[in-house]
Every structure is written in C-alpha cells, then in structure tokens.
C-alpha cells in the first residue's frame, strides 16, 4: 500500500470512519482505491477515493449510469462546471455521469482535506441533485 493510502487508512481507523473497502492495483503508481457509497437525496451513490504515488488525490462519484439525453445533460453540466471550482462533472464514453475532484499536494497526509472535500461535495450535491436528475431523466 502506498504511503498516502496507508495514512488515509490510519485516519479512517483513528476517526472511526467506516464503510470503505480498499483495493490495491499493481500499476506503476501503486494505486489504491477506497470504495464506498454516499447518500444523496435518499439515493446510494457509488464513489471512490483514489490514492497513488503521484501528487494527485482523486474523489470520483458515479452519479448516473447510461445517460440518454446527452446534449441536454452536457449543457447542464457545463453550467455546473462553471459554478463549482473544486470538482467537475463529465460523461464517460459509456455516457456514465461522473463527478471528479482532484486534490493536489506534496504532503503525504491530506486525509482531513480529502474528507472535508468529500463532505462539501455531499452537501452541495444535496442542493443540486434534484435539478440534475430532472435534466438527466427528461426526454
């Protein structure tokens, strides 16, 4: 397990934060993915915190699978991307709607910052989720 991931696991344990499973990858960056789910407007949403040997820490949330009305959704995502500085919304090649937040730093232990950003995302998504889903599900 890379140093950032080990420190994050220690932080989770020390602060009695549960609900995360981790998976280590055998890649050049020694990537570790901490998977969990967050609750937004009564919906369990899959998310992951991705930690590796680079200067980046990623929070990735899969908001919706297989968006159909991509033109309207992309237009709405552009408005959200202009509104929020610390994270971005996009559609994957499979039209999955993803929210990514990239936290940069050279300190090995950014655990508090990661959890603070995640909590901020959850709070702000509580405000945005209904409108976002209205656009996603409209035809």
> Where in the sequence is the domain holding 57, given as residue range(s)?
3-137
Number of domains in the chain: 1
Helix (H) or strand (E) holding 12: helix 3-14
Q: What does the alpha-carbon distance between residue 115 and residue 39 come to, in Å, rounded to a whole number?
A: 15
Cα separation of 71 and 27, whole Å?
35
pTM flag (> 0.75): yes
Residue count of the chain: 139
Q: Is 1 helix (H, G, I), strand (E, B) or coil?
A: coil
Residue 103 near residue 56 (C-beta atoms within 8 A): yes
Condensed to tens digits (0 to 9), the pLDDT of residues 53-104 reads: 999 999 999 999 999 999 999 999 999 999 999 999 999 999 999 999 999 9
Q: Rounded distance, CA 110 to CA 117, Å?
A: 11
What per-residue confidence (pLDDT) applies to 42? 94
Q: What is the pLDDT of residue 12?
A: 97
5, 16, 100, 36: CA torsion to nearest 10: 100
Helices vs strands, H then E, count in the chain: 3, 6
CATH number reported for the structural domain that contains residue 84 in this entry: 3.30.1460.70
Q: What is the mean pLDDT of residues 118-133?
A: 96
> How many angstroms separate the CA atoms of 115 and 122, rounded?
10
pLDDT at residue 125, rounded to an integer: 96
Question: Residue 109: what pLDDT?
Answer: 76
Report d(CA 43, CA 37) in Å as an integer: 9
Res 105 pLDDT > 90: no
Alpha-carbon gap, residue 83 to 7, rounded angstroms: 32
* Whether the Cβ atoms of residue 25 and residue 32 lie closer than 8 Å to each other: yes
């Amino acid at each position: 397990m890379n140093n950032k991931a080990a420190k994050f696991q220690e932080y989770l344990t020390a602060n009695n934060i549960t609900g995360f499973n981790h998976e280590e990858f055998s890649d050049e960056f020694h990537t570790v993915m901490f998977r969990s789910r967050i609750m937004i407007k009564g919906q369990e949403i899959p998310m992951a915190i991705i930690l590796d040997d680079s200067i980046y820490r990623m929070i990735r949330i899969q908001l919706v699978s297989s968006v159909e009305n991509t033109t309207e959704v992309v237009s709405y995502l552009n408005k959200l991307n202009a509104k929020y500085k610390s994270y971005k919304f996009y559609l994957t090649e499979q039209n999955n709607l993803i929210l990514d937040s990239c936290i940069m730093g050279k300190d090995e232990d950014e655990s508090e910052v990661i959890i603070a950003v995640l909590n901020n995302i959850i709070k702000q998504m509580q405000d945005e989720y209904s409108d976002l889903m209205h656009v996603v599900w409209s035809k």
